[in-house]
Amino acid sequence: MKVSSPRARLFAAAVLSILILSASHAASPAKVDSTCGHENWGYQESNGPARWKDLFPHQCGNGREQSPINIVNPRTASLPPLQFSYGTVNQLRVENNGHSIEVTIPSAAPANRVTLRINGVDYRLVRFHFHTRSEHRIAGREEPIELHLVHEGPGGSSVAVGIFIEPGAANPALTEVWKHLTAETCRPSWIAALNLAALLPANLASYRYAGSLTTPTCGQGLQWCVLKTPVTMTGPQIQAFERIFYGTPLFPAGNRRPLQNLNGRVVLTDVR
């Protein structure tokens, strides 16, 4: 449904304000525990997503704005653009943290190389990681891998950008990360230099909603921006990630959380 009348535009603006407000001022801003190897959760039957509600009952069990979701019938609206100021960053930490391959952005990285601006507010990229299969779906469609770019902003606010990865040509930034792909956990290495801009597709049209971390503690307060256009990597690169994180004793169904209920949330989009 396209927003065109004055009343419809006013409604979309109000919904967007509520979405941003809930993402910025949730009671429990989303944070992640970075103590590698000491978490009591995973993706096996004994500690996987079906058990997270017992291990983390406050939000994994009772939160009503949980992620990921299946994106169906989003409401078309005039959304503030996603303005990425990404560039080349040096000395990025990369590690198999027991749940995914995670890349940490150094705090000393210049702001003009790690910033996402939305509606005049700046959010700083702090880390990114990968899931297989994709956690979000669009009308039920999944992709082999989903990249999550996690940004932090003022007042504990957070924005997560989801980017689907499908088979195709090699991506230079992803290829650099994949040089550090390993099944060995908690043994960090460093990427000398990485052009973060290469992680993004040319088309930044997105689906946006208020959600949560997709890993414990399932903290709510994220504004999610799931990009419609995927990026690509080669089939062998996808298979290399799957050999570690899919169909193994530690990851029998991959390292993704199942879809969560929308619970009345509105998903907005500028996809045409």
Residues marked active site are found at 99
Strand blocks (E) in the chain: 70-71, 75-76, 82-86, 88-96, 101-104, 114-118, 121-131, 137-138, 145-152, 158-167, 189-195, 206-212, 220-227, 231-233, 268-269
Instruction: Spell out the residues 6+ positions from residue 3 whose beta carbon is closer than 8 angstroms to its own.
Output: 9, 11, 12, 75, 76, 77, 78
DSSP 258: P
Closest CA to 45 of 267, 258, 186, 250: 250
Measure the CA–CA gap between 15 and 31, rounded to whole angstroms: 25
Give just the sign of the alpha carbon dihedral 95, 61, 254, 256.
negative
Q: 156: which 2 tokens?
A: 């504990």
Cβ pair 36, 218 in contact under 8 A: no
